[in-house]
């Protein structure tokens, strides 16, 4: 049985492009075509398996529509938009979109996205995939660099310069025992076993931060 695919987009050109893909498919068929999110709200109760949604719609946005469909139905939503802005990519995925295809995609990529979704994947245009990976990398770096307190970062940076515990203590006006306690906490937070691993982790974070600028 073919999966029913709906479209929510006021642009006739892109409506026809998706329709052409579906007409040539043995796996999917065209359902209803909507030009506004308000009209498409009926998808909550209408039979459709997949819906292509443009973000920029008159009235309610495509992202708001996806939130409603995700919360109230089993329909899988694919963003189909020219929008490449990070804030919209994140908002769409957080709202429940199962994929994100840019409108520069050709019919072959649209067909591939449908099949990937059917097989349990999360279809994305190459640019979108790259941005999503970047989000995760930035989040990892931010988490690892902020889990250490300011004092712990100072201790680790001095340790990386080769200073012994006594000199670190003197530089920071603390005791050697306090330095050791800070190092114990640093090892635990970074998931490392010794000062060499901790320094390597610090260098890795700094290298990643430099590469962003």
pLDDT tens digits for 85-118?
888 888 898 899 999 999 999 999 999 999 999 9
What single string gives the DSSP state of each residue in 165-192? HHHHHHHHT--HHHHHHHHHHHHHHHT-
Taking 60 as the threshold, does the pLDDT of residue 208 lie above it?
no
Average pLDDT of the residues of the chain: 87
The residue with tokens 């390597």 is 200
Please, how many CA atoms are within 13 Å of residue 178, restricted to the half-sphere of its CB? 13
143: pLDDT strictly greater than 60: no
Structure tokens at 110: 């649209």
User: At residue 187, does pLDDT exceed 90?
Assistant: no
What single-letter DSSP state applies at residue 42? G
Share of the chain above pLDDT 90, in %: 59
pTM above 0.85, yes or no: no
Residue 59, by phi and psi: left (phi above 0), alpha (psi -120 to 50) or beta? Answer: left
pLDDT of 209 over the 70 cut: no
Residue 191 region, left (φ>0) first, then alpha (ψ -120 to 50), else beta?
left
pLDDT (average), residues 143-165: 80
């Amino acid at each position: 049985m073919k999966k029913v695919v709906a479209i929510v987009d006021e642009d006739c050109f892109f409506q026809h492009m998706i329709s052409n893909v579906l007409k040539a498919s043995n796996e999917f068929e065209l359902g209803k075509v909507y030009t506004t999110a308000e009209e498409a709200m009926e998808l909550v109760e209408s039979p459709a398996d997949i819906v292509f949604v443009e973000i920029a719609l008159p009235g309610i946005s495509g992202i708001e529509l996806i939130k409603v469909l995700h919360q109230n139905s089993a329909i899988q939503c694919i963003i189909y938009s020219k929008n490449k802005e990070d804030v919209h990519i994140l908002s769409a995925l957080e709202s429940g979109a199962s994929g994100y295809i840019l409108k520069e995609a050709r019919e072959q990529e649209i067909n591939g996205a449908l099949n990937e979704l059917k097989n349990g994947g999360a279809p994305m245009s190459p640019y979108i995939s790259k941005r999503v990976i970047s989000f995760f990398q930035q989040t990892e770096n931010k988490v690892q660099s902020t889990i250490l307190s300011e004092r712990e970062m100072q201790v680790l940076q001095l340790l990386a310069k080769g200073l012994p515990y006594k000199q670190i203590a003197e530089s920071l006006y603390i005791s050697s025992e306090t330095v050791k306690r800070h190092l114990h906490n640093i090892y635990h937070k970074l998931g490392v076993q010794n000062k060499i691993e901790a320094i390597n982790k610090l260098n890795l974070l700094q290298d990643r931060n430099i590469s962003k600028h």
